[in-house]
Amino acid sequence: MNPSPAADPVALVRRLYLDIIGLPPSVDEVQEFLQDTSLLAYEKLVDNLLASPHYGEHWASMWLDLARYADSFGYSSDLNRVIWKYRDWVIQALNQDMSFDQFTVEQLAGDLLPNPTIDQLIATAFHRNSMTNGEGGAFHEEFRNAAVIDRVNTTWETWQATTMSCVQCHSHPYDPIKQDDFYQAFAFFNNTTDRNLIAEFPVLKTLESKDSIELQTIKKWIEQQSSVQAAQQIEKMILVHEPKIGPLDFDESQNTKFINRIGDDYMSVYDGSVIKLKAINLEEIDRIYLHHLQYTPKEGKVSIHLNDAEGAIIGTRTLSKTQGLDMLSIPIRTDQKEADLYFSFSSIEEGYETRIDGILFGKKLPATPVELSDSIHHRIDWLMNATPKVTTPVLVEKPDSYKRTTHLFERGSWQRKGKVVLPSIPGLFNPKAQEYANRLDLAEWLVSADNPLTARVMVNRIWAKLFGRGIVSTTEDFGTMGESPTHPALLDWLALQFANEQSWHFKPLIKSIVTSATYRQSTHTSTEALEKDPENIWLARSPRLRLSAEQIRDQALAVSGLLSKKMHGPSVMPVQPSGIWQVSFSNAKWQTSEGEDRHRRAIYTFIKRSTPYPSLITFDAAGREVCLSRRITTNTPLQALVTLNDPVFFDAARALAQSVLDTQEPPQAQLSDMYQRLAGKVPSKKKLGILRELYEETTTYYQSHLEEAFDIALSKDLELAVLTVVANSLMNLDEFVVKG
């Protein structure tokens, strides 16, 4: 078969805009490209689009499907989750063209890097997107394990297109990956401090401006007195409150009661209670923070003893009623380098109780005069309890001395613990039997020369997004149950280019594809080619593809002039039909956003897992409960009902109609203008004639049904109502919802 000829320039520029930034070109942008007769006009357009901030917004949707990003916990209670800073991090990383090896390491193990930055901590929210069960009877440990299993499956599907979950319950005789391999991979993720809690911990605090300035002042002082590293450690302690030693890790306790159910995860202590932590390194700490909650005004006292419950006291503080969880600072004085610590609680008041969430050790400040040191400590203690502007769930590794032991789960049940396993890469991928200890080791291996699969998986995802079908069509499965590559040599070449010459950068990879003759072909083809290759496996033409859910909505807003260019920030709640959001376990309501927020790009739409945004899910957007590598495109009557009747699409049609009406041109010119804005090209005489017929029929109808017209126009403007119907019809053409 012969390739199709090059696409018409108008069609090609529209294709390029939709593929790179997810938005259609304006009429002026099309004309600007057509008028540039230089040999480098096309390449210059590609470079400009790749440099657009809208590039990151468009390509982020593919990654957020993999990351199962959502604004709620999932399961039946499905409470709201604040994690939008992770989505913003993805958009920014893509716009900056962060290398994929760095992109990988920061998301899987940013917290394990030396002195991680705030952005590197936010990146670890990739695996805090796992679901949390907020039901009252849920056991934390069961659903914490479910989250870890999800992290294993997500990691291997995202980076290796490998279905690890098959051997979660038992090995298969025909599968080279065994059950032991699954739980050795599980061990990489089993040592984080997060739990299945409604009030998520750990979180990274973003402070209000006044507190943020105070933090920067403290950091600067510590840098001057000590080092940047010391300042970053104090900053992390203030903003993350980790690594705390939680009740599950207390070595011993007396006269205490531990509650481990949803909504409650604490140890209650009373008069006479004692908590022991053994072999604590005291050289680098000068205070201990008690994270506690106390409902009653009854006063108590905590004393910290060395090596025995009756040993020397190195610190003491009064305990009283708190406003929520409070970080109580307990200064300590001791010359010992290591000791067992005993926390003794006492009160003279009957029925005294306080609840302990964890114990955190504060790093020593640089040696300074006592008055100055006390002042800095006071300011740090204030910030430890400062109310944040927003919080973001992040990953934090438990200290080595409190590591969890990972067991194989017999028949996949978390309650039936089998043999102990250590972190390791499955033997199939690790022929040299190299040792790997933690998530950072795993992340670095995924993008190392020892692992040729990651680059192939990622270039295949990019190819699939541009052509609608991967070189390996099963983008989620490169295993023997998946499809073989149609062009294995091309896949190898693209992967080697990506990991070597292009240094793991997406933008040069995308540029190399969209500037190819294959990409620039026309969608038109011969009858013979259609008979020989109906699915276009051999790429003898450019594919005609239905746009993604996000693109269809964004395009309607863009051509109407309603689309907001505002980027980043909290998720928004655009208009949706009434009665959609039926929320259990809370009084949360869909609060329709005001102003330009109701017309922002779909990437910023609030995603509730149990009740996804209806127009997006109707056009096959991901529900975001689990990792999704490939959206399956469907065609259903519901989709036409959305574009015809959904309030967002009708608002867009009305705004477009008003825009062409404002030109005060004759009706024929208005119809041509409207079509050109939507399709990017001038309509043929035949099409313009059909539009004129629709215009005249609608005018005749509304002249005798004025109330209907006024309802459509939201005013007594008959002409606006007629043009709104025409615009609404145009937004349902294949030319509008299909990339051709």
DSSP string, 429-444: G-TT-----SHHHHHH
> Could you count the other beta carbons within 10 Å of the beta carbon of residue 640?
13
* pLDDT tens digits, 198-252: 888 999 999 999 999 999 999 999 999 889 999 999 999 999 999 899 998 999 9
Q: Give the pLDDT of residue 123.
A: 98
Number of domains in the chain: 3
Asked whether residue 559 is assigned to any structural domain, the reply reads: no
Distances, alpha carbon 725 to alpha carbons 644, 655, 697, 706, 715, in Å: 9, 11, 11, 14, 14
Give the pLDDT band of residue 264 (cuts 50, 70, 90): low
Confidence tier at 583 by pLDDT (50, 70, 90): confident
**Share above pLDDT 90 across residues of the chain, in percent, rounded to a whole number:** 86
Q: How many CB atoms lie within 10 A of CB 696?
A: 12
Residue 305 lies in a domain: yes
Strand, coil or helix: 94: helix
Pull the structure tokens for residue 482.
Answer: 């998946």
**How many angstroms from the chain centroid is the CA of residue 369?**
46
Say if 420 falls within a structural domain: no
Contact 605, 572 (CB under 8 A): yes
Q: Which residues sit opposite 391 in a β-bridge?
A: 205
Residue 359: pLDDT band with limits 50, 70, 90? very high
**Span 518-569, pLDDT tens digits:** 999 999 988 888 999 999 999 999 999 999 999 999 999 999 999 999 999 9
How far apart (Å, rounded) are the C-alpha atoms in residues 180 and 198?
Answer: 32
Q: How far is CA 104 from CA 297, 370, 440, in A?
A: 49, 45, 10
Contact status, residue 539 vs residue 714, Cβ threshold 8 Å: no
Residues 262 and 377 in one domain: yes
* Residue 261, pLDDT score: 60
* Distance between CA atoms of residues 402 and 280, nearest Å: 11
pLDDT of residue 260: 67
Considering the domain architecture, whether residues 376 and 262 belong to the same structural domain is answered as yes
Domain identity same for 379 and 509: no
Shared domain for 259 and 378, answered yes or no, is yes
Please indicate, yes or no, if residue 219 is contained in any of the structural domains.
no
With contact defined as beta carbons under 8 Å apart, do 128 and 393 qualify?
yes
- Dihedral over alpha carbons 76, 77, 83, 88 (to 10 degrees): 50
What is this structure's pTM?
0.95
How high is the pLDDT of residue 416? 94
Domain contains 230: no
DSSP letter for each residue of 374-440: HHHHHHHHHHHTPPEEEEEE---BPPGGGPPPEEEEGGG-TTSEEEEE-----GGG-TT-----SHH
pLDDT score recorded for residue 539: 94
How buried is residue 660: exposed, middle or buried, by Cβ count under 10 Å (0-12/13-18/19+)? buried
- pLDDT for 719: 95
Q: How many beta carbons lie within 10 A of that of residue 26, not counting itself?
A: 16
Could you say which of 386, 408, 432 is where a domain stops? 386
Q: Identify the three-state secondary structure at position 162.
A: coil
Per-residue pLDDT band for 740 (boundaries 50, 70, 90) equals confident
Report the alpha-carbon distance of residue 466 to residue 578 in Å, rounded.
35
User: What pLDDT was estimated at residue 368?
Assistant: 72
Asked whether residue 281 is domain-assigned, the answer is yes
DSSP 670-719: HHHHHHHHHHSSPPPHHHHHHHHHHHHHHHHHHHT-HHHHHHHHTSS-HH
pLDDT tens digits, one per residue of 18-44: 999 999 999 999 999 999 999 999 999
pLDDT at 119 over 90: yes
Q: Provide mean pLDDT across the span 323-352.
A: 95
Q: At what angle do helices 647-661 and 549-560 cross, to 10 degrees?
A: 30
Q: How far is CA 283 from CA 209, 334, 363, 365, 655, in A?
A: 34, 9, 9, 12, 67
Residue 640 makes CB contacts below 8 A (sequence gap 6+) with 732
Phi, psi of 494 (to 5 degrees): -60, -40
Most distant CA pair in the chain: distance in Å?
Answer: 96
Q: What is the span of the domain harbouring residue 375?
A: 247-386
Bigger pLDDT: 370 vs 606: 606
- Do residues 79 and 611 lie in contact, with contact meaning Cβ atoms separated by under 8 Å? no
Residue type, 7: A
* In-domain check, residue 93: no
Whether the per-residue pLDDT at 695 is higher than 80: the answer is: yes
CATH of the domain at 254: 2.60.120.260
pLDDT in tens, 608-638: 999 999 999 999 999 999 999 999 999 999 9
Examine the pLDDT at 694 and tell me if it is beyond 60.
yes
pLDDT of residue 258: 86
Percent helix, strand, coil in the chain (nearest 5)? 45, 15, 40
What pLDDT does 550 receive?
98
Average pLDDT value for the chain? 94
Confidence of residue 173 (pLDDT cuts 50, 70, 90): confident
Q: Of the residues 543, 566, 598, which one is the last residue of a structural domain?
A: 543
| pLDDT over 70, % of the chain | 99
Query: Is 565 within the bounds of a domain?
Result: no
Mean pLDDT of 94-119: 97
Domain boundary among 336, 368, 386: 386
pLDDT at 200: 87
Q: Who contacts 235 (Cβ-Cβ below 8 Å, separation ≥6)?
A: 215, 219
